[in-house]
């Protein structure tokens, strides 16, 4: 069984393919994992290769759901709130490693493993087999339960895009039915069509709340490029409540004396900022960027903080 795998990644598409030979899936608002079942044990590996099994004890039964067979499944860990996927609900669980706390959270807010690809089974690699065959074998392998499911694919991508928009879901992914699995590659055989403009950014600093010297009020974020970390703006919305103290504790050990941004941060944003090593990745929703995204002056429009991505590193962006 191959142990060094990374998930295949989708490219943002321009138009949903209408031609034959494509299948379309719901895009889930969760955490991407590879589920390794081997010798009767489950190991969940995040997109950046970290083992996150301890955070989700309610998924241990997947071993029995695949009949105890060795397998590697590409999937998404999803937390539902009011019947819809909620990344905010999942964010409370992504960083937990203490087994007792993980068990309490699993009882109060259980997650679901949404499986959509089968990379290996019984010690045999399926990477070169077409997606249609991998999906067929996945559906035959996994005994569906409340804690794991294999959602259907659809032939009509335009219909699915409209339906997911109406239902408030994240979007869809369109995949070429004959495509092999390319570990770690961002391929145009998989195209993503999100409804919301959510992207990941690297934190380069934080500013305290007005009238406070310790409470975190806003993040300064940027995009890693060949020229360095380019400043994209200040994110203050979404940080009120428990998010601020959690971020403050996470960033405190990373403080540094100078800005990590390659370009100049406007004085209005830089004044009073605590600079940090650019290693923490967060998700931000916004109305896009003002100006061309490849220009250093582009800024996020009406950004809102959505959560820390412990499954991603700056290099992944």
| DSSP states of 89-106 | HHHHHHT---HHHHHHHH
- Among the listed residues 27, 175, 192, 242, the single catalytic one is 27
* pLDDT at position 191: 97
Contacts for 170-173: CB closer than 8 Å, 24+ residues apart: 170/26, 170/27, 170/28, 170/29, 170/85, 170/194, 170/195, 170/196, 170/198, 171/27, 171/195, 171/196, 172/16, 172/24, 172/25, 172/26, 172/27, 173/10, 173/24, 173/25, 173/26, 173/27
Asked if 288 and 197 count as a contact pair (C-beta separation under 8 A), the reply is yes
Determine how many CB atoms are found less than 10 A away from the CB of residue 193. Answer: 22
From CA 70, how far away is CA 121, in angstroms rounded? 6
Domains of the chain with CATH codes = 9-194 (3.30.470.30), 198-316 (2.40.50.140)
User: Quick one: which of 195, 222, 216, 144 has its CA closest to 29?
Assistant: 195
What percent of the chain has a predicted confidence (pLDDT) above 70?
96
From CA 224, how far away is CA 279, in angstroms rounded? 11
* pLDDT at position 33: 95
Question: Is a pLDDT exceeding 60 seen at residue 139?
Answer: yes
What confidence tens digit (pLDDT) does each residue in 208-237 have? 887 777 789 899 999 999 889 999 999 998
| Alpha carbon distances (Å) from 152 to 9, 24, 25, 114, 138 | 19, 9, 7, 11, 11
Q: In the chain, what is the greatest distance between 2 CA atoms, to the nearest angstrom?
A: 61
* Average pLDDT score over the chain: 90
pTM above 0.75, yes or no: no
Give residue 3's pLDDT band: very low, low, confident or very high (50, 70, 90).
low
Task: Decide if 27 is catalytic.
Answer: yes
> Tokens 């996020």 appear where?
300
Query: Token pair for residue 284?
Result: 């931000």
Question: Is a pLDDT exceeding 60 seen at residue 292?
Answer: no
Give residue 293's pLDDT band: very low, low, confident or very high (50, 70, 90).
very low
From CA 307, how far away is CA 198, in angstroms rounded? 11
What confidence tens digit (pLDDT) does each residue in 73-122 have? 999 999 988 888 887 778 778 878 889 999 999 999 899 999 999 999 99
Give residue 291's pLDDT band: very low, low, confident or very high (50, 70, 90).
low
From CA 220, how far away is CA 242, in angstroms rounded? 19
C-alpha dihedral over 123, 51, 190, 169, to 10 degrees?
130
């Amino acid at each position: 069984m191959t142990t060094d795998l990374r998930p295949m990644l989708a490219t943002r598409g321009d138009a949903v393919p209408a031609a034959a030979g494509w299948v379309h899936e719901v895009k889930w608002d969760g955490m991407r994992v590879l589920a390794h079942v081997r010798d009767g044990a489950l190991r969940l590996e995040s997109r950046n290769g970290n083992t996150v099994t301890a955070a989700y004890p309610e998924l241990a039964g997947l071993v029995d759901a695949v009949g105890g067979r060795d397998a590697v499944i590409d999937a998404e860990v999803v937390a539902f709130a009011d019947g819809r996927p909620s990344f905010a609900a999942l964010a409370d669980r992504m960083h937990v490693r203490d087994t007792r706390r993980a068990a309490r959270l699993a009882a109060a807010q259980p997650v679901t493993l949404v499986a959509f690809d089968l990379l290996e089974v019984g010690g045999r690699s399926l990477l070169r087999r077409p997606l249609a065959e991998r999906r067929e074998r996945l559906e035959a392998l996994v005994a569906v339960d409340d804690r794991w499911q294999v959602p259907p694919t659809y032939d009509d991508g335009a219909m699915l895009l409209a339906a997911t928009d109406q239902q408030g879901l994240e979007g869809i992914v369109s995949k070429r039915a004959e495509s092999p699995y390319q570990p770690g590659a961002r391929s145009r055989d998989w195209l993503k069509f999100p409804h919301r403009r959510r992207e990941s950014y690297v934190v380069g600093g934080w500013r305290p709340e007005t009238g406070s010297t310790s409470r975190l009020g806003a993040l300064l974020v940027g995009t890693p490029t060949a020229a360095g970390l380019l400043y994209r703006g200040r994110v203050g919305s979404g940080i009120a409540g428990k998010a601020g103290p959690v971020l403050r504790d996470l960033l405190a050990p990373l403080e540094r004396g100078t800005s990590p941004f390659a370009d100049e941060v406007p004085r209005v944003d830089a004044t009073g900022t605590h600079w940090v090593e650019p290693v923490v990745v967060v998700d931000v929703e916004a109305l896009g960027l003002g100006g061309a995204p490849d220009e250093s002056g582009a800024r996020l429009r009406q950004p809102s903080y959505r959560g820390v991505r412990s499954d991603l590193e700056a290099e992944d962006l």
